[in-house]
Every structure is written in structure tokens, then in C-alpha cells.
Amino acid sequence: MQIRIKTTPLQDVIIVIPEVYEDERGFFCEVYRADQFKSLGLPEFFVQDNHSRSVKGVVRGLHFQWDPPMGKLMRVTLGSAFLVAVDIRKGSPNLGKWFGIEASAENKLQLWAPAGFARGFCVLSDVAEIQYKCTGIYNSQAESGILWNDPAIGVDWPIKNPILSKKDESAQTLAKWLNKKESDYFLFGKE
């Protein structure tokens, strides 16, 4: 089975496309293989798996972690969601730019965004489950977020009045993040 990738307008953000075998019984696919990930230039080692379930209209994000730096490989295993990555690397030619795709249990697309990107999603179906493999162990003392609707970024979310957590509702803007000393963890070219 072959895993393929498709580049995006954001350097280092990759769409991962598994080969799917389907028949009258259902389907089978490999969503991760260390050897293929390595040959494609993707991380081959992940240290944490997360699983989230949300109802329609929920936006989670835009989240990131700087210590240890955390990249995420996101996929939807139930329903559908709009997955987003935003470049927050100082000095990046794409600083503040975003990329989003609709991923679903049906299309089986995955979105890879390394450390230095804030990530989030919006649930499009009645319920969605999102799973993500992480390259860093969660550290509540070194994680943060960017406001989901920061006008300086302008993510074109497929919803206008999302259901948000208090934390996401009061997240900082990208400009405020870039003025913090911790933002120096994400210097373009330093990765």
C-alpha cells in the first residue's frame, strides 16, 4: 500500500493521502507507516495520540505548543471537519497565512503541520471525531492559542457563530503572540 502526499501553498504543511482498498465488506487503509513517512520527508516518530469528539459548529483552535515543539498529523475518523493550519514562525514568508481542507471519514485525508503552526478545526457534520498524532508530549505550561477569527489571519471558516470554549474565545491575536519572548521558539529556518 502506498501513502501519497500533496503539497499545499504553505511550506511544510502537507496533505497525506492513504491508499484505500474498498469492497462490499468495507475498506482498509494504512494511515501511518514509519518507512513511507520517512521516505516522504514526514516525521516517522510520534509520541502521543489524541482523540477529540465535537458537535456541529464547534471550532477548536488555533492551538500550538512550543516546549516541547509539537507537530500534528490530523485526521477525521467520524463525520467531517474543516482542518486548518496557520504559519506562526517569525521570519517566515508565509507568517500569518493559513491553509484549510475539508477532511472526512469518507475521504480519509490527513493534514500534517509541524511545530511553528497553530492548528484548529471546525465540525461540519452533526458530530465529528478528530484524531491526531503528535510529535511532542503535551505540556500545559508551554501551550497557547491564537484567536480563531483574528482578522490579521482571516481564516475563511465555514461558520460565522461557532461554539467555542472560554479559552478559545479569549485567545490572543497573532500580533500579541509575536511580541512574547516564547514566540522566538518558532523562527523560520531554525526548525
The whole-angstrom separation of Cα 69 and Cα 88 is 13
Contact call for residues 136 and 48 (beta carbons, < 8 A)? yes
State yes or no: is 138 an active-site residue: no
Neighbours of 4 (CB within 10 A): 11
Give the three cell numbers for residue 145: 492559542
Tell me the residue type at 38. K
Catalytic residue, chosen from 21, 32, 51, 132, is 132
Catalytic residue, chosen from 21, 51, 63, 185, is 63
DSSP 186: -
Domains of the chain (ranges; CATH) run: 9-15+46-181 (2.60.120.10)
Tell me the residue type at 15. I
Determine whether 6 is exposed, middle or buried from the number of CB atoms within 10 Å of its CB (0-12, 13-18, 19+): exposed
Q: Are strands 98-104 and 72-78 parallel, antiparallel or unpaired?
A: unpaired
State yes or no: is 63 an active-site residue: yes
The whole-angstrom separation of Cα 137 and Cα 158 is 30
- Per-residue pLDDT 10s for the chain (191 aa) are 799 999 999 989 999 999 899 899 989 988 999 999 999 999 999 999 999 999 999 999 999 999 999 999 999 999 999 999 999 999 999 999 999 999 999 999 999 999 999 999 999 999 999 999 999 999 999 999 999 999 999 999 999 899 999 999 999 999 999 999 999 999 987 65
